[in-house]
């Protein structure tokens, strides 16, 4: 989910593992020379989801193992879920919607939040949580931990 810490935790985890870090939103923005918000506003969500899937497929197909922060909506596509399970170890950074609101509620670059961040995040959690859980190899609760603690927990899970 947005605000769970994918970028922060992912970049720190990549450093700890000495691997490249790939953020799918950043890759989409580089490819299009537009922000995620601009893509949503001009081309619509479906166009963004298609780009998101392309970027994920490319990242997963890379010869060099990497830490990938997949955009939260990536999970909505069954092919993306299959690719993630087939090509890597998937960690779901779990947080309650109420915790996420405090992290992302006032951010203007998140096009899906509109005027009701709490309601939108609660609905997203309802739709997506079971998909995250069924795709993940590991679930890490990030509600009560800082990024460095989350990284240490993930390292223990993936290296043992």
In DSSP notation, 24-87 reads HHHHHHHHHTS-HHHHHHHH-HHHHHHHHHHHHHHHHH-SS--EEE--GGGGGSHHHHHHHHHH
pLDDT value at 46 more than 60: yes
Q: What is the pLDDT of residues 54-106, one digit of tens each?
A: 999 999 998 899 999 998 889 999 999 999 999 989 999 998 888 887 666 45
Q: Mean per-residue pLDDT for 113-117?
A: 68
């Amino acid at each position: 989910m947005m605000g769970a810490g994918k970028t922060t935790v992912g970049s720190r985890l990549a450093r700890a593992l000495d691997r490249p870090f790939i953020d799918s939103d950043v890759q989409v923005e580089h490819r299009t020379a537009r922000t995620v918000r601009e893509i949503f506003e001009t081309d619509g969500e479906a166009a963004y989801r298609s780009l998101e899937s392309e970027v994920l497929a490319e990242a997963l197909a890379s010869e060099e193992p990497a830490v990938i922060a997949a955009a939260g909506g990536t999970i909505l596509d069954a092919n993306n879920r299959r690719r993630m399970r087939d090509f890597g170890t998937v960690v779901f950074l779990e947080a309650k919607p109420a915790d996420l609101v405090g992290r992302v509620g006032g951010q203007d670059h998140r096009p899906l939040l509109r005027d009701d961040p709490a309601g939108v995040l609660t609905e997203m959690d309802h739709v997506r949580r079971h998909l995250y859980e069924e795709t993940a190899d590991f679930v890490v609760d990030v509600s009560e931990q800082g990024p460095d603690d989350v990284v240490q927990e993930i390292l223990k899970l993936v290296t043992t």
